[in-house]
């Protein structure tokens, strides 16, 4: 960025403060650290150090870390910091019941300990500087003189503390506010990490003399793609409004396709077949993307792509079977299928925590070797002899009983029900249900998808063999990959062809977002749909399935309300010969 500015100016861009919000605040804080009780040599803690410190601070409260894990509490504290809330500014309405209502007190102790260590975390960089600007008029006046012009990109993604910092710097009594913000309110899709679309919506009220310039000419997408996206986003009430116009000479292009298919398996097959056809016609795979609403949706496409031999990459995340929770669940299955699998048992013996430390594990290994047994057998032997004591003995006994009861269910009711029972009785699912970290719900969705995949195989052994082959899949040095990513991860990217599967109620818009965010959540989901459609340069293809597998059973799906909101003049709706029970607008599945 600095080099580009230098080229535009025709001279080196010296004297400019250029960087992210946090980078600029770190620079400011080094200058004024003494005003918040730090020295200029303060340390910025990374996430691991923050968690280790927070666990130490939590100790006096004797918090149940299984129910209230440190990462979840750290998330609560960071959200307070993103909203500009120091401990003393947290009102009862803004307080949290996390950690049995002790979150605010722990936050206070955490901040005090950071000061003792001459340290701060990432959130403190902006919080401390904003506090300094609020309470030190002399420092604020210094920056008013220094920063005559302020330019901000991606303004729609700013959070509360960034907004407060900008207002303090831009508004002063000596003259007009010289601030230029660039942003698109229709692409504000990060509320889950603190972004406030209201910041850009109220810009004209905050700066009444501001001039608004609408950048409405789009050089990426065709007329029909822009028309479909504009018609959809027009259903949002909280927006500034604009009229997108294509800037390309070849802007006519194809209409956006909406395909209704019988089920999610057909959806995955058709997407991959169309991608294969595009490749045969000379299209580069790197110009093709599959954009999903949630990470659990990638599994079906990954497996189909591997069957067809099309190289792919997961952008911004791990492949489905490489994710930690999936590897844990597979380890449980491996022990269920083969009790002699010591590596798998070692992985899950302390997941969730069962109090088995290095010494305890060494004792289990010794018993297994002494009796010529696998690790599971050695554990059972020690339990029978009452050679294990304390909480770890109770937890291990519960684990071994869970495996024993699951093997009975496996023989009677099959592998799908058995695996569901094992993950439940072992406490593994409950571990993620009680985890308050932001990614816990997504991990639970991935585990549900894993149990759906089980139903496609006759036995547990067949499934595990399939997974082993999938995980051994090698791309053979390919450099042309189809991309699979979430809609959130696709922002800022573009592709010739974009597939948008899973446009059904509950999947997209996400039911969890609707439950937690209500109308605001719905409008953000609609903005996410707008972002997805406008990633396409030439062709956007939307899929919805008439039914999806929920565990071992097929359940009917209702088309997303967003499909009804797409204007007919820019969309062609068809079912590609696969009769589906509910693909036409306004029809519901019973």
In-domain check, residue 562: yes
Nearest to 251 by CA among 222, 271, 216: 222
In-domain check, residue 431: yes
- pLDDT in the model for residue 551: 58
Question: Which distant-in-sequence residues (6+ apart) come within 8 Å of 54 by Cβ?
Answer: 70, 73, 74, 77, 106, 110
Are both 333 and 366 inside the same structural domain? yes
3-state SS assignment for residue 375: helix
What is the CATH classification number for the domain harbouring 255?
A: 3.40.50.300
Contact 501, 297 (CB under 8 A): yes
User: 376-411 pLDDT, tens per residue?
Assistant: 999 999 998 888 888 889 999 999 999 999 999 999
Are both 494 and 563 inside the same structural domain? yes
Are both 362 and 235 inside the same structural domain? no
Burial 2-23 (b: 16+ CB within 10 A, else e): eeeeeeeeeeeeeeeeeeebbe
Contact 292, 463 (CB under 8 A): no
In-domain check, residue 211: no
417: left (phi over 0), alpha (psi -120 to 50) or beta: alpha
Are both 545 and 504 inside the same structural domain? yes
Nearest to 195 by CA among 532, 528, 515, 435: 528
Residue 507, φ and ψ in degrees, nearest 5 = -95, -50
End-to-end CA distance of the chain: 55
What is the CATH classification number for the domain harbouring 361?
A: 1.10.486.10
Are both 362 and 453 inside the same structural domain? yes
Contact 41, 61 (CB under 8 A): no
Beta bridge partners of 509: none
What CA–CA distance (Å, rounded) separates 503 from 48? 38
3-state SS assignment for residue 358: helix
Burial (0-12, 13-18, 19+ Cβ within 10 Å), 409: middle
Q: Which residue has the tokens 């446009």?
A: 503
Domain that holds residue 127: 2-146
Alpha carbon dihedral 255, 260, 263, 268, in 10-degree steps, equals -10
In-domain check, residue 71: yes
Are both 365 and 460 inside the same structural domain? yes
Q: Of 146, 181, 208, which residue constitutes the final position of a domain?
A: 146
Are both 76 and 49 inside the same structural domain? yes
Burial (0-12, 13-18, 19+ Cβ within 10 Å), 444: middle
What is the CATH classification number for the domain harbouring 104?
A: 1.10.10.160
> Which positions of the chain have pLDDT values less than 70?
175, 472-478, 550-552, 575-590
Number of domains in the chain: 3
User: 252-307 pLDDT, tens per residue?
Assistant: 889 999 999 999 999 999 999 999 999 999 999 999 999 999 888 998 999 899 88
Element (H, E) at 418: helix 415-425
Q: Of 465, 487, 521, which residue constitutes the final position of a domain?
A: 465
For the record, the structure tokens of 191 come out as 């509320």
User: In whole angstroms, what separates CA 376 from the centre of its chain?
Assistant: 36
In-domain check, residue 405: yes
Spell out the alpha helix ranges (H) of 136-263. 137-146, 160-170, 198-201, 203-206, 223-233
In-domain check, residue 338: yes
- pLDDT in the model for residue 72: 87
CA separation (Å) from 549 to 67, 453, 463, 552? 31, 9, 17, 6
The radius of gyration of the chain's CA atoms, rounded to the nearest angstrom, is 28
Are both 135 and 59 inside the same structural domain? yes
In-domain check, residue 173: no
Are both 288 and 344 inside the same structural domain? no
Q: Of 411, 440, 465, which residue constitutes the final position of a domain?
A: 465
Question: Which distant-in-sequence residues (6+ apart) come within 8 Å of 94 by Cβ?
Answer: 80, 83, 85
Residue 209, φ and ψ in degrees, nearest 5 = -85, 5
Within 10 angstroms of residue 518's Cβ, the number of other Cβ atoms is 10
In-domain check, residue 202: no
Are both 498 and 418 inside the same structural domain? no
Are both 461 and 479 inside the same structural domain? no
- pLDDT in the model for residue 555: 86
CA separation (Å) from 19 to 22, 33, 170, 255, 404? 8, 20, 17, 40, 58
Are both 326 and 450 inside the same structural domain? yes
């Amino acid at each position: 960025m600095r080099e580009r500015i230098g080229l535009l100016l025709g001279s080196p861009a010296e004297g400019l403060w250029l960087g992210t919000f946090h980078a600029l605040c770190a620079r400011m804080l080094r200058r004024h650290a003494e005003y918040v009780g730090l020295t200029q040599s303060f340390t910025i803690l990374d996430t691991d150090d923050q968690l280790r410190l927070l666990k130490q601070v939590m100790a006096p409260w004797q918090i149940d870390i299984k129910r209230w894990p440190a990462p979840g509490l750290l998330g609560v504290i960071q959200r307070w910091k993103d909203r500009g809330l120091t401990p003393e500014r947290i009102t009862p309405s803004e307080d949290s019941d996390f950690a049995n209502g002790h979150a605010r007190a722990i936050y206070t102790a955490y901040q005090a300990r950071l000061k003792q260590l001459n340290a701060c975390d990432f959130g403190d960089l902006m919080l401390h500087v904003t506090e300094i600007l609020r309470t030190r008029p002399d420092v604020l006046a210094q920056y008013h003189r220094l920063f005559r012009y302020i330019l901000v990109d991606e303004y729609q993604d700013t959070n509360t503390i960034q907004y407060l910092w900008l207002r303090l710097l831009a508004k002063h009594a000596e003259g007009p506010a010289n601030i230029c913000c660039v942003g698109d309110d229709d692409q504000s899709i990060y509320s889950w990490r603190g972004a406030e679309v209201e910041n850009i919506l109220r810009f004209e009220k905050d700066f009444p003399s501001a001039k608004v310039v609408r950048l409405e000419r789009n050089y990426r997408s065709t007329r029909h793609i822009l028309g479909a996206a504009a018609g959809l986003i027009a259903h949002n009430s909280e927006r500034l409004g604009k009229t997108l116009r294509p800037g390309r000479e070849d802007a006519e292009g194809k209409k956006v396709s909406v395909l209704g298919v019988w089920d999610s398996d057909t959806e995955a097959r058709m997407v991959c077949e169309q991608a294969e056809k595009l490749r045969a016609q000379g299209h580069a795979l790197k110009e093709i993307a599959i954009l999903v609403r949630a990470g659990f949706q990638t599994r079906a496409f990954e497996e189909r792509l591997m069957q067809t031999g099309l190289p792919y990459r997961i952008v911004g995340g791990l492949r489905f079977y490489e994710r930690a929770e999936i590897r844990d669940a597979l380890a449980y299955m491996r022990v269920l299928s083969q009790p002699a699998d010591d590596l798998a048992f070692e992985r899950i013996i302390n997941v969730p925590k069962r109090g088995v430390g290095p010494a305890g594990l060494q004792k289990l290994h010794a018993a297994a070797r002494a009796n010529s047994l696998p690790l599971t057998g050695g554990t059972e032997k020690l339990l029978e002899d009452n050679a294990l004591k304390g909480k770890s003995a109770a937890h291990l006994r519960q684990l071994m009983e869970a495996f024993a009861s699951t093997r009975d269910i496996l023989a009677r009711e099959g592998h799908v029900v058995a695996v569901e029972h094992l993950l439940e009785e072992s406490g593994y699912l409950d571990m993620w249900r009680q985890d308050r970290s932001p990614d816990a719900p997504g991990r639970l969705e991935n585990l549900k998808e894993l149990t759906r995949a089980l139903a496609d195989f006759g036995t547990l052994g067949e499934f595990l063999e399939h997974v082993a082959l999938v995980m051994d899949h090698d791309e053979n040095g390919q450099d042309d990959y189809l991309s699979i990513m979430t809609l959130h991860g696709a922002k800022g990217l573009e592709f010739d062809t974009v597939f948008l599967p899973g446009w059904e109620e509950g999947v997209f818009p996400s039911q969890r977002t609707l439950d937690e965010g209500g109308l605001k959540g719905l409008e953000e989901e609609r903005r996410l749909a707008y972002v997805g459609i406008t990633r396409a340069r030439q062709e956007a293809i939307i899929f919805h399935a008439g039914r999806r597998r929920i565990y071992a059973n097929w359940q009917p799906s209702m088309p997303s309300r967003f499909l009804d909101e797409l204007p007919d003049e820019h969309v062609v709706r068809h079912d590609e010969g696969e009769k589906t029970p509910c693909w036409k607008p306004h029809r519901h599945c019973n």
